[in-house]
């Protein structure tokens, strides 16, 4: 076993503590990744606040990238020194859901994720002689991570590690919603509600798929300015007017062809449907507490609208991650603008405070 430093969550609503943690050994299908950068996502905050239940103690962090430090005996297609971006949806490929092209619902994945274990159901971390859990098979707020081989996707040469880590969750979720889920088509109108990392990525997915009007909606004028860099053709500050009426006015009174909800509130879920034209599609990417009820007027659900909940943008990480990295390197995909700060591992609680106050899109921890 090796020893590393990790930010450990030991209680809900309490600061993380930097601890020495034992890690290993690798099993045949594992890879050991030296983490170079890991960004703080709202899902990490949900676990910390107790809204999303996981066993404790646990290492959070599921947007991470780094270099391969060691490979298991059965791993032949990655080598020491390869730079990889990590993703949180390993899947077996042969259960009921994998056979139905729904790998995000993979039965072994779902079973072991909920208990904070590795994909094979066992732990790879120990602290004070006891098992230490990991979030979404990654545990990226640490100097190293042992992950299943399929959770590590090789990056093209020249991809900066602090941008690569963003691909692992927020960028994939938003970009994939527009390119894989709703498949915004040439000439269509797309509306994106909530312009954090997921929303900014949805804006770009809509742009790169040929949407002619891309309407970005948020409460923060600074974020709305960033959406213009990412491809928004129109912006709406929802605190200053009726966003539903403005979207309809920009779309000949019909509503948007595709609406991407990236904010996560009952009111916004309701408004996302009202912004969508009859026959259009709504993709819900945001979320509320899992026990919260959300209500709708039945009439708002009429008109042949299609409503889809997507947790990961129809991710195909082995294909999508390198393609998005190439798009960044050739200037098509904007990632620099999403990073609002870089901090050290010891400053991680400051990063969570920024997220709580709404002052961060992505704070990246540099290892």
Distance CA 197, CA 227 (A): 10
Task: Please give the structure tokens belonging to residue 349.
Answer: 């609680």
Q: What is the 3-state secondary structure (H, E, C) of the chain?
A: CEEEEEEEECCCCCCCEEEEEEECCCCCCEEEEEEEEEECCHHHHHHHCCCCCCCCCEECCCEEEEEEEEECCCCCCCCCCCEEEECCCCCCCCCHHHHCCCHHHCHHHHHHHCCCCCCCCCCCEEECCEEEEEHHHCCCCECEEEEEHHHEEECCCCCCHHHHHHHHCHHHHHHHHHHHHCCCCCCCEEEEECCCHHHHHHHHHHHHCCCCEEEEEECCHHHHHHHHHHCCCEEEEHHHCCHHHHHHHCCCCCCEEEEEECCCCHHHHHHHHHHEEEEEEEEECCCCCCCCCCCCCHHHHCCCCEEEECCCCCCCHHHHHHHHHHHHHCCCCCCHHHEEEEECHHHHHHHHHHHHCCCCCEEEEEC
Length of the chain: 367
Per-residue pLDDT of the chain (367 residues; tens, 9 = 90+): 799 999 999 999 999 999 999 998 999 999 999 999 999 999 999 999 999 999 999 999 999 999 999 999 999 999 999 999 999 999 999 999 999 999 999 999 888 888 888 888 889 999 999 999 999 999 999 999 999 999 999 999 999 999 999 999 999 999 999 999 998 889 999 999 999 999 999 999 999 999 999 999 999 999 999 999 999 999 999 999 999 999 999 999 999 999 999 999 999 999 999 999 999 999 999 999 888 999 999 998 999 999 999 999 999 999 999 999 999 999 999 999 999 999 999 999 999 999 999 999 999 999 9
Domains of the chain (ranges; CATH) run 2-169+314-366 (3.90.180.10), 174-309 (3.40.50.720)
Place of tokens 């894989």: 180
What is the Cα 36 distance to its own chain's centre? 18
Sign of CA dihedral 330, 343, 165, 340: negative
The answer to whether residues 63 and 16 touch, using CB atoms and an 8 Å cutoff, is no
Which of 117, 264, 128 lies closest to 198, judged by CA?
A: 264
């Amino acid at each position: 076993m090796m020893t590393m430093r990790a930010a450990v969550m030991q209680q809900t609503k309490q600061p993380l503590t930097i601890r020495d943690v034992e890690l290993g050994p690798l099993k045949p299908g594992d890879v050991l990744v030296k983490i170079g950068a890991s960004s703080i996502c709202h899902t990490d905050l949900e676990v910390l606040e107790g809204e999303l239940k996981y066993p404790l103690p646990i290492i959070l962090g599921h947007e991470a990238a780094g270099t391969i430090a060691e490979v298991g005996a059965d791993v032949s297609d990655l080598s020491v020194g390869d730079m990889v971006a990590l993703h949180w949806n390993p899947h077996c490929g042969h259960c009921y859901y994998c056979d139905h092209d729904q790998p995000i619902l993979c039965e072994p994945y779902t079973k072991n994720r909920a208990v904070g274990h590795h994909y094979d159901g066992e732990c790879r971390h120990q602290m004070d002689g006891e098992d230490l859990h990991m979030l979404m098979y990654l545990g990226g707020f640490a100097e190293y991570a042992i992950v299943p081989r399929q959770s590590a996707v090789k990056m093209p040469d020249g991809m900066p590690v602090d941008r690569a880590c963003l691909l692992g969750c927020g960028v994939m979720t938003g970009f994939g919603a527009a390119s894989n889920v709703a498949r915004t088509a040439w000439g269509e109108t797309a509306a994106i509600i909530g312009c954090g990392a997921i929303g900014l990525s949805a804006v770009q997915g809509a742009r790169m798929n040929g949407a002619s009007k891309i309407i970005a909606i948020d409460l923060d004028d600074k974020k709305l300015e960033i959406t213009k860099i990412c491809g928004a053709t129109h912006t709406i500050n929802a605190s200053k007017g009726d966003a539903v009426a403005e979207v309809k006015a920009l779309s000949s009174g019909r509503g948007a062809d595709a609406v991407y909800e990236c904010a996560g509130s009952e009111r916004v879920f309701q408004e996302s449907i009202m912004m969508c034209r009859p026959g259009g599609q709504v993709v819900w990417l945001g979320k509320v507490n899992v026990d919260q009820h959300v209500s709708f007027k039945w009439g708002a659900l009429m008109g042949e609208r299609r409503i889809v909940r997507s947790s990961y943008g129809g991710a195909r990480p082995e294909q999508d991650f390198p393609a998005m990295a190439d798009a960044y390197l050739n200037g098509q995909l904007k990632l620099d603008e999403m990073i609002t700060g870089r901090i050290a591992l010891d400053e991680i609680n400051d990063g969570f405070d920024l997220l709580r106050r709404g002052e961060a899109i992505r704070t990246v921890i540099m290892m």
